[in-house]
Amino acid sequence: MALLKIYHYPEQVLLEKALPVETIDETIIKLVNDMGETMFDAPGVGLAAPQVGESKRIIVYNPSPGASEDDEDTPQEFKALINPEIIASSGSITSEDEACLSVPDYSSDVKRFETVTVRGLNLEGKKLEFDAQGILAVIMQHEIDHLDGVLYIDRISALKRKMYKKKLKKRLENN
C-alpha cells in the first residue's frame, strides 16, 4: 500500500463530476487500499477518489468514526463503496465544524440530511443498500458530494465561502 497525494481546492479534479467505475479489477482494488491508508494517515473519516486525483466514483470511509481513535491496538478498518449514490434522504441536522482534507485549515457548520439511504457496490461487485444516520450520514453526503464535484464550502453561505476564498488567496500569495 502507498500514501497518495491529497489534492486541495481549487484543483480541477475536485470540481468535476467523477466517472463511474465499469470494472472492479486489481487497479481499483489497489487504489481503494491506498485510499484507505491515506485516509487514516491524514487523518480523516472519509476520502473520495477525486481527492487523490482520480476521477472515479469511489469512496472509502471509517464505519465507526470516533471509536477508539487513540487506541493504537485497534486495527484501522475502512469500507469502500463503488459508484455510490444517495437514493433517499430525510430529516435535517447541522454538521458542526465540518472539515475536509481537500479544504485545509477551515471548517464550518453545514446543513445536512439526518438520514440517507445509500446504494453502491462493494469491492466484490456485490450490490449494497443501507441507511446511514448521524455522523455516518454526514460522511456519506460529504464524500458522495465529492464525486459530483461539490465541496462542503459550496453548501455554506456565500459570505463564509467568500471569506474562505479570501483567506486561501492570501495563503497562496504568501507561498
DSSP 44: -
- Whether the CB-CB separation of 78 and 63 falls below 8 Å is answered with yes
143 is catalytic: yes
Torsion angle, alpha carbons of 86, 30, 11, 79, to 10? 30
- Mapped onto helix, strand or coil, the DSSP state of residue 7 is coil
Is the bond preceding 65 in cis, omega lying within 30 degrees of 0? no
From 22, 37, 143, 173, the catalytic residue: 143
User: Would you name the residues annotated as active-site residues?
Assistant: 143
